[in-house]
Amino acid sequence: MKPLPRVEYWRDKRRREKGIFAAACASLEDARASLPLAPDLLLYHPAFPVRSAQGETGMLSALESAGNANQDAARGMPDLLPLCAPCPVAMGVCATDPFLLRGPSFQAWRAKGLEGAANFPTVGLVDGFFRADLEAAGLGLTREIECLRHAREEGFFTVALACRPEDAAAFCEAGCDVIILHLGLTAEALPRPLAAARKDALPAFLAAMKAKPAFNPLLLLHADHLTGSNDESAWKATGAGDGLDGLFAAGGVTRVKSIRALIPA
């Protein structure tokens, strides 16, 4: 499948060794605050946390029962898309919703002007016996992969959040255009710092990507792993040589601004 213009632009930035910056937004207010920072991509879903201070659940809050996730996200599209233009927007799609009718939903979202789809909320953050039960019930990551594959066939660019190396490889094989690497949670349910994670987790993710050479996704690091000066130094030392193309920032406007400073516009 021929890459979409947005994806071609991002790949051109990669060829020019320019970092790609993506930001999460949960509301019109978030989008207004992020747009002056010139993001290459906005990832929208109302369940994205508005802040990620110590002791809060961050991305895990998206797994709380709060209504119809896809309906809530789609409701914000008519106001959000004109505000963000020409910045591309990917909407978080809760692919594990057993009542999601992909075909009619994709067509309706495309008609509103939506360009991209992402697997958020994602069960990728879930591990252990509960994750195994979700997979056995057909409500696991396989459903998210199928949803993004279908979205790509419908003309969307696709953004995948991958929390395990094998998940990243599966999204790569599905032809996802952008893969955001979440390198795992600590025992305290906070993201593992990059200064530690790049010693073991990051190489495992990148090795999984290289095992699928026929596909060429852009790889963004989830900036939750940049928790201090040591992690910022680790990011700068990682660079394009390790296969990463940019950063994805979530956690509110203040956090997005601080991460933006690590990726020159």
The tens digit of pLDDT for each residue in 130-150 reads 777 777 777 788 999 999 999
Q: Which of 182-191, 243-252, 256-265 has the lowest mean pLDDT?
A: 182-191
Q: Where are the domains of the chain?
A: 5-260
5-260 CATH, one of 3.40.50.880, 1.20.1440.230, 3.40.50.300, 3.20.20.70: 3.20.20.70
The tens digit of pLDDT for each residue in 205-239 reads 988 888 776 678 999 999 988 888 888 888 887 75
Question: What whole-number percentage of the chain has pLDDT above 70?
Answer: 86
CA distance 50 to 30: 8
Question: What whole-number percentage of the chain has pLDDT above 90?
Answer: 49
Rg (the chain; Cα; Å): 17
Question: pTM for the complete prediction?
Answer: 0.89
CA distance 98 to 18: 40
**pLDDT computed for residue 57 by the predictor:** 46
- Residue corresponding to tokens 């879930």: 126
pLDDT mean across residues, the chain: 85
Q: Which of 18-32, 91-105, 120-134, 150-164 has the lowest mean pLDDT?
A: 120-134
Q: DSSP state, 251?
A: S
**pLDDT computed for residue 52 by the predictor:** 47
20 or 227, higher pLDDT: 20
> Mean of the pLDDT values across residues 116-122?
92
